[in-house]
Amino acid sequence: MVEAKLMNMCMIIDKENNKVVVQDKVNKPEWRGITFPGGKVQNAESIIESTVREVKEETGLDVKNLEFSGLIDWYNDITHERWFIFLFKTYTYSGEMIDETHEGKVFWTEIEILENMNLASGMKNYLKLFFNDNLNEAYAVWNDKNWGKFRFM
């Protein structure tokens, strides 16, 4: 039997200034570094609803008009656990952004420098899906000894 975990991530884009909202998750030892807001899908909650909720909790911003950017599909070949991370982007946001959460700082950064920042583990691969409309999924097999290499589709 496969145990699945559903998660989400959202890239909020200020097209006029060529910036995105990021989090520096310094207080999250299991996934430290620069990421986009996101988190776990709760029971009785849709993927979109969970993404909107997580963005609000982690940034203070309200988002709408989410566009699907791809799927990260992690499979553990020992425990048979499967993680699905649904990626979205949006240009529609409102509200006042908070500066920090219990996970770390929240701020706008230029898109051009994003790949050179201290990204969380695997985030460079996630960016490929966010920025390439011809890719839909990244799939990797992992276990306690090895984080596999992504195959992009």
Q: How many other CB atoms are there within 10 angstroms of residue 94's CB atom?
A: 8
153 falls within a domain? no
CATH code for the domain of 21: 3.90.79.10
CA distance 52 to 15: 19
Quick check: is 149 in a domain? Answer: no
In a domain, 124, yes or no: yes
> What is the DSSP code (8-state) at residue 29?
G
Residue 20 lies in a domain: yes
Q: Is residue 152 situated within a structural domain?
A: no
Count of structural domains, the chain = 1
pLDDT of the residue at 30: 76
Closest C-alpha among 47, 39, 32 to residue 121: 32
What's the confidence (pLDDT) of residue 151? 94
Q: What does each C-alpha distance from 82 to 30, 51, 72, 77 come to in angstroms?
A: 17, 19, 10, 9
Residue 68 lies inside a defined structural domain of this protein: yes
- 116 falls within a domain: yes
Question: Which range of residues forms the domain containing residue 120?
Answer: 3-144
Using one digit for the tens of pLDDT, what is the confidence trace for 26-79?
877 777 999 999 999 999 999 999 999 999 999 999 999 999 999 999 999 999
Q: Are strands 81-90 and 104-110 parallel, antiparallel or unpaired?
A: unpaired
Report yes or no on 127 lying in a domain: yes
Q: What is the pLDDT of residues 92-137, one digit of tens each?
A: 999 999 999 988 999 999 999 999 999 998 899 999 999 999 999 9
Q: How far apart are CA 72 and CA 139, in angstroms?
A: 6
Sequential DSSP letters for 91-129: SEEES---SEETTEEEEEEEGGGGGGS-BPTTHHHHHHH
